[in-house]
Chain A
């Protein structure tokens, strides 16, 4: 059942992104930043964790989930080790993905060329 909810929620967040692109003058870069910040704020209002439990990767994999993961990581570490945890926790959930993107991204750029 979670698969259905993942599809619906993940799809809905992407649909919101598409509506922003089509009905405003924002560039894709602006739209992605907007969704990321919205996700972080939603996490602050305790909205993201329930959505995550309800829709799993449907909430986690859109870029809003990335923002929420940054906020959740910072808060979890702050609770564990005090105020410094705000900064050590920022990449708690997202750091692995960023490292993978840098490492394998550079590797792919070494061997592959962009299409003409």
Chain B
């Protein structure tokens, strides 16, 4: 069955010699075998775990947000300290080694929340300190978080500029 499909594909190449066709057929059959044996990501399990873990971190964030809003801050003013507290949570969880395990379990569920942003910074800082405090830790802390800040700033300034110019 698998080789039949390969045969069909190869027979559309009449310019090849018999031996070359045979070789090509073998390659295609092998490719199909690899495709079949390769472990597929468990899509449904991955997406469900990401949803639940990401949701749970958001609920924790909501507790923090509520706390700051109960102190009289409005939604905008409470954003900054809420982000900061969640980042601190991510830093501590990474230091204790908890966050890496969570990352293995939950994938994007751990990476997408802002605690994951903190995790990439601390993990890089710990990893690269062996290359020196200045050129190791100092330079490479933002190895993964850096692009987020760079492109967030680029997009943010452009978006805000357009809004600023177009709004009355």
Contact = CB atoms under 8 A, between A and B. Distances in A.
Q: Do A and B bind each other?
A: yes
Contact of A83 (B58, B106, B164): B164
Interface of A is mostly: helix
B153 A70 contact: yes
Interface in A49-88: 52-53, 55-58, 60-67, 69-76, 78-79, 83, 86-87
A32 B46 CA distance: 17
Report the interface size class on chain B: 35 or more
A44 B152 CA distance: 13
Contact of B152 (A12, A67, A95): A67
Contacts of A39: 152
Contacts of A109: 122, 125-126, 129, 137
Interface in B42-74: 43, 46-48, 50-62, 64-66
Contact of A2 (B54, B62, B90): B62
A40 B159 contact: yes
A74 B164 CA distance: 9
Interface string A92-116: 1111111111101110110111110
Report the interface size class on chain A: 35 or more
B164 A79 contact: yes
B135 to A, nearest CB: 14
Contacts of B159: 40-41, 43-44, 71, 74-75
Report which residue of A23, A65, A101 has the largest number of chain B beta carbons within 10 angstroms of its beta carbon: A101
B152 A36 contact: yes
Contacts of B116: 63
25 contacts: A2-B66, A8-B55, A10-B59, A13-B54, A18-B47, A28-B108, A28-B144, A62-B54, A63-B113, A66-B114, A66-B152, A67-B156, A69-B79, A86-B164, A90-B156, A93-B80, A93-B83, A96-B80, A96-B84, A97-B118, A101-B117, A105-B91, A108-B95, A108-B125, A109-B137
Closest 3 pairs between A and B when the two form their complex, measured CB to CB: A10-B58, A14-B54, A11-B55
Interface of B: 41, 43, 46-48, 50-62, 64-66, 75-76, 79-84, 86-88, 90-92, 94-97, 100, 106-109, 111-118, 121-123, 125-127, 129, 137, 141, 144-145, 147-149, 151-157, 159-164
